[in-house]
Amino acid sequence: MKKALLGAALGALALGISAAPNTAKADEIGACLITKTDINPFFVKMKEGASAKADELGIDLSTYAGKIDGDHETQVQAIESCIASGAKGILLTASDTKAIVPVVKKARDAGLLVIALDTPLEPIDAADATFATDNFKAGELIGQWAAAKLGADAANAKIALLDLAPSAPSVDVLRDQGFMKGFGIDIKDPNKIGDEDDDRIVGHDVTSGNEEGGRTAMENLMQRDSGINVVYTINEPAAAGAYEALKSFGMEEGVLIVSVDGGCPGVANVKDGVIGATSQQYPLLMASKGIEAIKAWADSGEKPQNSQGLNFYNTGVNLVTDQPVDGVPSIDVAEGMDRCWG
Amino acid sequence: MSETPKSSRQKQDFEHALESSDSSVAQFEHKHRSLFDSVQHFLHGNPTMVPVIVLIFSIIIFGFVAGSKFFSPFNLSLIMQQVSIIGILAAAQSLVILTAGIDLSVGAIMVLMSVIMGQLAVTIGIPAPIAIFVGFIGGICAGALNGFLVTRIKLPPFIVTLGTWNIFFALNLWLSGAQSIRSQTLDEVAPLLKFFGESIALGGARITYGSILMLLIFGVLWYILNHTSWGRHVYAIGDDKEAAELSGIRTNRTLIMVYGLAGLVCAIGAWASIGRVGSVSPQSFQEANLQSITAVVIGGISLFGGRGSIIGPLIGALIVGVFNSGLRLAGVDVLWQVFAIGWLTIIAVAIDQWIRKVSS
């Protein structure tokens, strides 16, 4: 009996402590932004967008980031701190889209609005909403562009695919498979990289999404077949690395490199002819829309709606190239430069 | 002593008895060595032989598995290019590990210095040679900071370099804004930064200056460690720091110099990495710290310090490169490459432990 009383007292004390920040900030709406890393300009831009919007709407924004891509533990702690701080909502780009689900549920049960930015959770409805680029569409656009650019030669193309990581996160799969579908390859299982048996595919390799990885991966695939003339890359740093490899082989002419992201150095590389075309996404928009949604949720309890025909809110994607082709809508480099991030 | 002719003297009785007794000199019991023991002794005397044997065998095996493409001079020179940066870091790492320390910050120092060189030369517009020189000084300072914390504040190297790894990483982000400096910009403003990406064609092979630099660094360090008193001191400190101290070696000063030299080697690696990658990339080489330790361990340098040849890590890095290239050419999935390198590391340390037992 005594023990139970003590336990109850301790419990009340604990509750009191965790509730304290709640009351302290009752007059101001709190929100958290949790990104995969601080290192990627994509997330830097996201933070910029969120901060600007939060200032405008008078929202108290706290930001957290994992140390490296894949740092799940730090993100879990960030969500826990966020719940404890009494924030009204969380904007999250998850490193581990499956493992984060239980702690996201904890946050939602505590009354927070959780919006996944850029990277959908698995399952996607584990978050209240997802504000993201349609990555499959982003891949499809560059695939269609590459096929149209080659014309009749597309039938004999030799394709290298430079992916992100061996664990194949969803963004990796969506872009890779979208590209192939756009190019006109039978992708079989759209959830699986590498189950295609089209002869035009030389191979897949992983890049970690940086220049060094892109270069090494390209070198390895060139060793398998030096006739490669189409290169898909997961992002623009990987594309820049692939180009360096091709240059060292003396083969940078006549090879089509396509990519996804739309960062400023990437668009500059489109301008310089390093990359043929890239699909541009808009992280700033994801974050600012996210802050608006948290504000609406705090004010009226209203949740954001999905885009028509999709199970997330599409923040848009544009193909950036100075060599437009018929049938594939695109914007030119000048406009891409205006809207680039990083 | 003049010898008396045998015939001239009659043998005494007790001497007859002696004749049938054991005539050998007193000595320790001589244990018969099995082939196994002999191998162990041989390896103890030549710790670099294990990685050399592994390298030769893996080249032969992958030659069969992956086919003729693997053996082409071009592919072999490509492996060299691909391991050059990790190789240079492994050289720096070896210096520290020989003193029974460990340096988790080598990769972070390298990336930070490459960012410093790039920002100075491109963003601020300082002439490239000065930017590179500042990077070198920065590398020495970063390494010496590690050495200072290890010797003067007496913290374990693991903790010190775990901390500075994070510190250097954060500085890297702050200075670079997490943005790469593009290859095309470097070509325009500071082509000297990409110097080590240049290459010479030799038959079918294409040898980059970066590969040659790696070999040079190992050569110079080999000379310093084996033919200077300073090098001997490094080994002595790794073997037994107290004994080294008692025999008059200024251990703390030597240790700071070891960490500083390691930092300088990392900074040289930073210059080479810009050539290898083609751009100044704050996001590349995030796993380089651990990859360098892998190369050192596979190269047969003992993590307990004081034992192993500096040439070992060069072989270790090449083994990793040969495995990756061979498995890729054979069409093996990436995750099995990671798997193979993992086992290789464990087996290398197990062999080291076994060899160490010879002296006990």
pLDDT tens-place string over residues A76-91:
999 999 999 989 999 9
Query: The dihedral of CA B244, B249, B251, B255: what is its sign?
Result: negative
Residue B270: give the domain boundaries.
Answer: 71-359
pLDDT number for residue B30 = 65
Identify whether the C-beta of residue A143 lies closer than 8 Å to the C-beta of residue A183: yes
What is the Cα–Cα distance from B235 to B95, expressed in whole angstroms? 9
| Domain count along chain B | 1
- The pLDDT assigned to B323 comes to 87
The answer to whether residue B329 is domain-embedded is yes
Q: Which residues of B touch A67 (CB under 8 A)?
A: 166, 169
Task: Mark out chain B residues that contact chain A at CB-CB < 8 A.
Answer: 69, 75, 78, 81-82, 85, 166, 169, 173, 177-180, 182-184, 197, 199, 206, 273, 276-279, 281-286, 325, 328-329, 331, 333-335, 338
Q: Order of strands, edge to edge, in the sheet holding A313-314?
A: A59-65, A29-35, A89-92, A113-117, A129-132, A313-314
According to the model, what pLDDT value does residue A24 have?
A: 40
Q: What is the CA radius of gyration of chain A?
A: 22
Class of domain A135-280+317-338: alpha beta
List the structure tokens of A218.
């390209």
Please report the pLDDT score of residue B54 as a whole number. 86
Residue B243 scores a pLDDT above 90: yes
Whether residue B47 is contained in a domain is answered as: no
Whether residue A6 is predicted with pLDDT greater than 50 in this model: the reply is no
Nearest CA in chain A to B86: A212
| CA distance between the termini of chain A | 61
**Residue B177 located in a structural domain:** yes
Q: A202 and A209 in contact (C-beta within 8 Å)?
A: no
Rounded distance between C-alpha atoms, residue A64 and residue A81, angstroms = 10
Within 10 A of B201 (CB to CB), how many other CB atoms are there? 10
Longest dimension (CA), chain B: 103
Decide if A176 touches B, using CB distance below 8 A: no
DSSP characters over A137-151: HHHHHHHHHHHHHHG
Shortest CA gap B243–chain A (Å): 41
pLDDT at B7: 54
**pLDDT (tens digit per residue) in B71-99:** 888 888 999 999 999 999 999 999 999 99
Mean of the per-residue pLDDT values of chain A: 87
Residue with the bigger pLDDT between B14 and A57: it is A57
> Where are the alpha helices (H) located in chain B, listed in sequence order?
13-19, 35-45, 49-66, 68-71, 73-98, 106-118, 128-151, 157-176, 183-189, 209-227, 229-239, 241-246, 251-277, 288-298, 311-329, 334-356
Alpha-carbon distance of B198 to B272, in angstroms, equals: 10
The pLDDT value recorded for residue B352 is 78
A219 touches chain B (CB under 8 A): yes
Q: Which chain A positions have a beta carbon within 8 Å of B167's beta carbon? A: none
Q: Where in chain A is the domain with CATH 3.40.50.2300?
A: 18-133+283-304, 135-280+317-338
- Is B31 part of a structural domain of the chain? no
Q: Which two tokens stand for residue B78?
A: 């490509």
Residues B90, B313 contacting (CB under 8 angstroms):
yes
In this structure, which topology does domain A18-133+283-304 adopt according to CATH? Rossmann fold (3.40.50)
pLDDT at B337: 81
Checking if the pLDDT of A2 tops 70, the result is no
Q: What are phi and psi of B292, to 5 degrees?
A: -65, -40
Which pLDDT belongs to residue A5?
Answer: 45
How far out from the chain centre does Cα A120 lie? 9
Q: Provide, as residue numbers in chain B, all residues whose Cβ is less than 8 Å from the Cβ of A41.
A: 177-179
Contacts of B81 in chain A (CB under 8 A): 219
Distance, in Å, from the CA atom of A42 to the CA atom of A35, rounded to the nearest integer, reads: 10
Angstroms from B335 CA to nearest CA on chain A: 6
CB contact A283 to B (< 8 Å): no
DSSP B125: -
- CA atoms of A45 and A262, how far apart (whole Å): 12
Q: Report if residue B46 sits inside a domain.
A: no
* Distance between A108 CA and the closest CA of chain B, angstroms: 32
Asked whether the beta carbons of residue A205 and residue B334 sit closer than 8 angstroms, the reply is yes
Give me A148's structure tokens: 């149209």
Between chain A and chain B, how many beta carbons pairs sit less than 8 Å apart?
Answer: 98
**B231 phi and psi, to 5 degrees?**
-60, -40
Identify the CATH number of the domain in which residue B87 sits. Answer: 1.10.3470
Best to test chain B binding among A42, A201, A215 (most B CBs inside 10 Å):
A215
B58 belongs to a structural domain? no
Please judge whether B180 and A38 are an interchain contact, meaning their C-beta atoms are less than 8 angstroms apart.
Answer: no
Token pair of B106 as six digits? 């080598």
Q: Shortest CA distance to A160 belongs to which of A246, A247, A221? A: A221
Q: Check CB contact of A66 with chain B, cutoff 8 Å.
A: no
Identify all chain A residues contacting B328, using CB atoms and an 8 Å cutoff.
Answer: 205, 220, 223-224
